[in-house]
Amino acid sequence: MKKALITGGAGFIGFHLARHLVGRGWQVELVDDFSRVPEDDALAQLLAAPGARARSADLVDPGTLDDLDRDFTHVFHMAAILGVAHVLERPYAVLRDNIAMLNQVLDYSARLPGLERLIFPSSSEVYAGTLEHFELPIPTPEPTPLAVTDLSRPRTSYMLSKIYGEALCHHSGLPFTILRPHNVYGPRMGLRHVVPELLQRAYRAEPGGELEVFSADHTRTFCYVDDAVELTRRLAEADAGKNGTFNLGTEEGETTMRELAEIVIRVVGKPLTIRVGPTTSGSPKRRCPDMRRAIAAAGYEPSAPLEDGVRRTFEWYRTHVFDRPDPKPAPKRKDASLAGSD
């Protein structure tokens, strides 16, 4: 019997991963502070399933994990402070708390006699310094040497917390798998991400109006969350995934922000004109992972078409967010380089 501890298990990827594992017969325990749980009944349904349970806790508090069971086979450390607003406004907290949470998870995992794998989601942001200072290959393979951006920049804080986290995993003595997510998207991901942000603005716009798109010529490849969690689970179980670092995303379908907006307009079904806005400062022009290593290790290739994924995402947001009384407004601007899950 596989048994997983998922920190940040009520968050975006953490929740979808938990539901995926429970559906495959795993026992799952979520640890989360539940501060950002969407207003739907999906979490309650998940926790009603046999073998699923949850604990409310703040991983920054010392000793949070001390009294948990010691029979977990897999630990998925999905909890982190992330998102453009936090990175720009609270860089010190991002550095301090992300490392504090990981240290606590590593210490706890070292006490698990049957641990098969610790899974640490890093970030596609770790490539940002290489892109700025050197020539970054596109699609980007995992062995690409990493450089850092100016340490005084708030944005550097998140990247550093993830690079340092990767190093901690390498030197922990634990069996690990490091993931570098690239623009994972889907239902329940919040509004401060480019896909739901464009969906909300298009849904709120008057017919015949405009949809402003920032960094319109910048390109990304988008990975639907179901594909992301399938890859995550397979890499966590595969012998080839042990002590390795893998991009998490899709290499196919590189899409400009303008093309993404065109898809959003079709999905929402409203006649809108795209208005090109300014380029967002710090947003890389291209971001695309080389997925050959991950696909070979996992035996799985992401396949969800972008328009289908955007449509499924829109259906969830329309029901649970956009049509609810007093929905939260979409942010005015969005930096696509941190969209989705990194």
Judge whether 28 and 21 are in contact, CB under 8 Å: yes
Taking Cα atoms as reference points, which of 247, 240, 235 lies closest to residue 118?
235
The confidence band for 342, taking pLDDT boundaries of 50, 70 and 90, is low
Give the model's pLDDT for residue 144.
98
Return the percentage of the chain with pLDDT > 90, whole number: 87
What is the spatial distance between Cα 228 and Cα 187, in angstroms, rounded to a whole number?
13
Look up residue 328 and give its DSSP letter.
P
pLDDT (average), residues 112-126? 97
Fold category of 3-184+223-248 in CATH: Rossmann fold (3.40.50)
Considering the chain, tell me which residue range(s) the CATH 3.90.25.10 domain(s) occupy.
187-221+253-284+305-338
CATH 3.40.50.720 domain residues, the chain: 3-184+223-248
DSSP states along 236-289: HH-GGGTTEEEEES-SS--EEHHHHHHHHHHHHT---EEEE-PPPTT--SEE-B
Cβ neighbours of 199 (radius 10 Å) = 27
* Superfamily for the 187-221+253-284+305-338 domain: UDP-galactose 4-epimerase, domain 1 (3.90.25.10)
* Side chain identity at residue 54, one-letter code: A
pLDDT digit string, tens, across residues 63-114:
999 999 999 999 999 999 877 778 889 999 999 999 999 999 999 999 999 9
pLDDT higher at 117 or 39: 117
Burial class (CB in 10 A: 0-12, 13-18, 19+), 213: buried
332, pLDDT greater than 50: no
pTM of the model: 0.94
Identify the band that residue 328 occupies on the pLDDT scale cut at 50, 70 and 90: low
Phi, psi of 114 (to 5 degrees): -105, 20
User: So what's the pLDDT on residue 284?
Assistant: 86
Q: 168 with 208: CB under 8 angstroms?
A: no
State the pLDDT at residue 255: 98
pLDDT for position 329: 53
Contacts of 232 (CB under 8 A, 6+ apart): 13, 17, 76, 119, 179, 248
Q: What is the mean pLDDT of residues 36-45?
A: 87
Here the tokens at position 342 are 């990194």
